[in-house]
Structure 1
């Protein structure tokens, strides 16, 4: 493929390269008619500005890196859509990677993005990530980083969070007010703050309603369908069946539902389910799953705004900000007895 250069445009019009350059950069010292002719000719010839040259002149890459744990569920793709909306509008390009819930892969992704001269990072850490020393060094070196959804609270970076505690509390309280008493929480990975916050909301709902709660009501699980299936199989094997399950997310809830249905249990009359994150299939499975929806697009938008603000205001003293967003409990047939 032959690329049309600024020299080609100058040659076509038999003018100097500097005159063409002044037209492209809208300089004052060029006649309006000349500028219009140059721009019209450039379009006809298929000229496109060299983005690398522009970046070198401005000493900026305009690249933003995004690192997420997975693409299996719709949550992170929707967050990325929201972030891209803001970043593209401001002239930034987006480089997207995913860690597949692996800390080692996550770290490699971050280093690859560094090599691509990103001006900032939007980061949601994996379920394996507990050592954030490298990220703190990046922050201290001046690289803007905004954490979202899955964060480490010790990192001195801006964060965009969902009010996991509040909505876990409401989800649990919904089950209690429906008359369920023996309720179990399938907890996500222990290293993540959102797992702790959802567990805390679960526990405090019991406290509010003066119901005794023991440690065995909270089961470390994971975030995948297979994790929910494994826990459900153990429950059935040990004949330890709760009245209801509040899962850390929809996939683990759906995995457990699948096993209980296969073994002849009626949902919700024998066992009820509440999920979290409002996946696309929550309203499509049988019965439809009660779940907490999160403002995914807004999470991405707010994270992108914080990052741009940090990138473009480096002369000011940086003070990390935390934005906490709200959601909604969508009540469906998986928790409402007939």
Structure 2
């Protein structure tokens, strides 16, 4: 089989609302072996107006949400069009867009990532693949996590891949199958608490380090039923609103940061130790939280790998680009062993 080459752009917007990640990647395939090279990447911070719109979208009317879906799609199209022009990109097979998650209730058979792919196409005139999660939910899955297909085919040199984004999620091999699931909230809460102190995030975990752990709150958090549930399982903002926020009373913000950082470390290490993970690749914004990483290292013998900046920050956008390539080839890009759906499948709307 001759080597095949594909060029793709992945767009990712996470629950922590750090901004829009754009990753332009070259993928090569020879027989069943895939390799990648990140060619260009960027994170575009959201304006305060757009950030607030996305943050509060869960509360707006259906009419306003439909408008935001289109508006955000046009925004994505404009941003990626400028990115293509700026970097003089000519080789491009597709744009794969994750969109921004507003609702995620797989138990009710729905999930919503806004950013209409047709609006992206109207601004770029390129093949666009989007809405990667809905099909899996319809097939009885969690619609998450989706990146394990990339972990399996692009990052198989590690026992596990751990992403520290809005939520932490892990992907690993178990009895010959790739399993994956959300572990606990991380930046979705830490960033929100930091905002209360006028910071966009807790740099290096310094604010948490200055706080005191609230042992009573920590115990209540660790007792939440989600942590004793079997995989596959996933978390969303609704779970935060129903289970976490009622526990937060009048604690000092630094103490909340300290407590939730400890909570994240406890839950993450619990999984690393339970599954006897020998080596783990850690990506996502939380990889820069030195205080959290130190806490994880102190509680486990698992070998911790922090990769180069491009992989830390753009692994998810990279893998959505890869999922787009797999979808274009009509190859499975969602693993039922990770999401709990009825079968592996090729997901994403193409326009």
What is the TM-score when the length of structure 1 is the normalising length?
0.33
What is the TM-score when the length of structure 2 is the normalising length?
0.32
Instruction: Give 1 or 2: higher strand fraction.
Output: 2
Larger Rg: 1
